[in-house]
Amino acid sequence: MEHGLLISIIYAFISLSVATIWGLLLGGIMMKVVARAHGRFGPPFWQPIIDIIKNNARRTSISHGIMYFLGPVFRIAGGMGTFLFIPFIYGSMVFGNFSFAGDLFLVMYFIFFGQLGMALGAGESGHPYSAIGVARGLSQMTAFELPFALSIISIVIQYGTLNITSIVAAQQGGILHWTLFTNPLATIAALIALQGMNMHNPFSIVIAPQEIPIGPPTEYHSNFLGLLQTNRGLFNIAKLALFMNLYFGGATNLFSMLIKTFGIYMITVIVGASFPRFRTEQSIRFFLGVPTVIGILAVLVTGYF
C-alpha cells in the first residue's frame, strides 16, 4: 500500500460507484438494444436504476432467518471484493483498487464467495425452486470453470506471472499485443466460458423463468432484491474488467474501459438474443466438450510447444 488507508478507501469507493453505475447502465443499454432489435422502443436505459430505487422503497419485507438475511450481503460482498481485487484501469491510482492483496487465482476464487453465500441464503428460504436453481447453477459453474481455468493457465504460462497488472502491462503497445491475438485459443475458450458466467441464453438455466421461476432469488424481494440487482451490475463489470485485462489489453483510461466492456458484453447479448436455452445436462456437456478441448489445446500450445 503506497498511500494511506483512508485515501485508498475513498478511491475504492469512487471506483466501486463508477463501476456499479456503469454496470447498471450497461444492462439498461443492452435492454434498449435488444428492444430496438425487436422493433420496440424498450425501457429507458436507466430503468435498472429505477428498479433498484423501487425495490429499496418497498415498505415491507420478510426474513426466513439469519442466513437468508445475510445471503444478499454475501453476494454483494463477493461482487465488491471480486471487483476490488482487479486493477480496474491500468496505471490509475484511483481505479487501481486493492490488487496488491492477491493475484489472478485470488480473483478466480473470490468469485465463488458471493455465489456460495447467495446459495446458502436462498437455501434457507426453504423454497424448492431456490435449491434446484442453486444445484443447476453450481453444476454449470463447475462445467464452465474448466475451460476458463485452462485458458487462465495458458495465459499464465504465456506471461509467466499471475499478477494481473503485469499481464496488462505485457499487452500494452498496440492492439496486436493483446492476448486476443497473441493467444487466440485461450481467448476463445475463455469467452465461451464467459457466456456461461453471464448466464444469458443459452445458459440461463439458473433463473429459467419458464421452468423454475426464477431460481435462487425466488423468495428475495424489497431491499434484499435491491442489493442483488446492484450486485448484478457491479459483478458484471467485475467480470468484464477481468476479461478486459486478461484478453483485451486492459484499459488505460476510463473511455477505453467503457468501449471495451461494452464490446465484450455485446458478445453475450448477441449470443443470448440468438439462441434458445439449453437443458442443464446439455449445457454441462457443452462446456466439457468443445470449449474444454480448445482450452487444453491452448495449454498444450503455450505450455509444451
Partner 1 sequence: MVNPIYIFVIALFSAFLLPVIDKLGRKVTLGVFYLSLTAIFAVTLLWFRAFGEGALIENIFTAGSLPPFSINLRMGTIEAFIMLFVNFGALLGAIYLYGKLLENKVYALMLFLTLIMGVNGLIMTRDIFNIFVFLEITSISLYALIGIKQDARSLGAGFKYIIAGGLASAFLLLGIIYVYRITGNLNLDLIISENPLLLSKGGLIALFLVVVAFLIELKPWPANGWALDVYEAAEPGISAMVASLVAAGMVFVFYKFIPLLPHSWHGMLILFGMLTFVFSNLTGLKQKNARRLLGYSSIAQMGLLMAVLLLVRRFNDAMDIRYALSDIAAALFVNHFLAKAGLFWLSGIINKEKARDWSFNKQPVLVLLFAVFIFALVGLPPFPGFWAKWTLITKLAQYNMIGWIVPIIIGSLLEAAYLLRWFGATIKREQTEQVIIPRYKILPPLLAAIVLVIIFPSFAPYMTGMKTMFFFPLLAAAVLWLLDVMPERMRGMVMILILAAFGWYIYPLAKGIVLIFEFMFIAGGIVISLASLNSARPKQGYWEFLVMLIMSLALIPLAKSSMEFFLAWEFMTVSSWLLILRGKNGEKPALTYIMFSLGAALLILTAFALSFAETGELGLVLLSNLNIYAIPVYILLALGFLVKAAAMGVHIWLPGAYSEAEDEVTPIFAGMMSKISLWGFILLFGYMGNKVLGIFELPVLLGWIGVFTAFFGALMAVFQEDIKYLLAYSSMSQLGYMILSVSLLSHLGWTTALYMSVTHLFFKGMLFLAVAGIVSRIGTTKMYEMGGLIKKMPASFISVLIAIIAVSGVPPLSGFGGKWLLYTALIEKGWYLQAGLSFFAGAIAFLYLFRLIHTIFLGQLKARFREVKEASLWYIVPQFIFVGAIMAISMFPNLILKPIMAAVETQFPSHVNWDGYTVITALGYWNGNAVMMITMGVFMVPLIWLLVRVNMVQKVEQFNIVYAAERPDRPETTHFAYNFFAHYQKAIGFLVKEQITNFWNSVSEWFHSLSATFRHIYTGNGQTYALHIIIYIVVLYSLLGVK
Partner 2 sequence: MENKDKMKLANDGLPEHEKPLFCDARPQTYKPLGKYVEKFLNWARANSLWILGYGTGCGAIELRPLMTARFDMFRWGLAPRPTPRQAGVFVIGGYMSVKTLKRVIRSYEQMQGPKFVIALGSCTINGGMYWDSYNTINRLDHYLPVDIYITGCMPRPEALIAGFNKLKAMIKAQQTDGQNEYARNFDWYKANQKKIVKDWNMPDYNW
Binding site for partner 2 (CB under 8 A): 31, 35, 38-44, 47, 50-51, 53-55, 57-62, 209, 213-214, 217-222, 225
Place of cell 461494452: 262
Binding mask 3-22 for partner 1 (x = CB under 8 A): ------x-------------
Query: Could you say whether residue 116 binds partner 1 (CB under 8 A)?
Result: yes
Query: Cβ of residue 212: shortest distance to partner 2, in angstroms?
Result: 9
189: contact with partner 1 by CB under 8 A: no
Interface with partner 1 includes 120 (CB under 8 A)? yes
Distance between CA atoms of residues 185 and 181, nearest Å? 9
Residue 84, binding choice from partner 1, partner 2, none, Cβ under 5 to 8 Å by partner class: partner 1
Rounded CA separation 168/164 (Å): 6
Q: Interface residues for partner 1 in 141-160 (CB under 8 A)?
A: 141-143, 145-146, 149-150, 153-154, 156-157, 160
Query: Shortest approach of partner 2 to residue 50 CB, angstroms?
Result: 5
Q: Does 54 bind partner 1 (CB under 8 A)?
A: no
Residues whose CB is less than 8 angstroms from the CB of residue 137 and which lie 6 or more positions away in sequence, other chains included: 115, 119, 199, 205, 206, 215, 216
Contact yes or no for 19/244 (Cβ under 8 A):
no
C-alpha 210/C-alpha 200 separation (Å) is 14
Contact between residue 148 and residue 154 where contact means Cβ atoms under 8 Å apart = no
Tell me if 109 contacts partner 1 by CB under 8 A.
Answer: yes
Question: Cβ 217 to partner 2, closest distance in Å?
Answer: 8
Q: Which of these, 70, 15, 26, lies nearest to 236 by C-alpha position?
A: 26
Rg over alpha carbons for the chain, rounded to the nearest Å, is 19
124 near 64, Cβ under 8 Å?
A: yes
Instruction: State the nearest-atom distance from the C-beta of 126 to partner 1, in Å.
Output: 5
Out of 11, 90, 127, 171, name the contact with partner 1 by CB under 8 A. 127
224 near partner 1, rule: CB under 8 A: yes
Site for partner 1 contains 64 (CB under 8 A)? yes
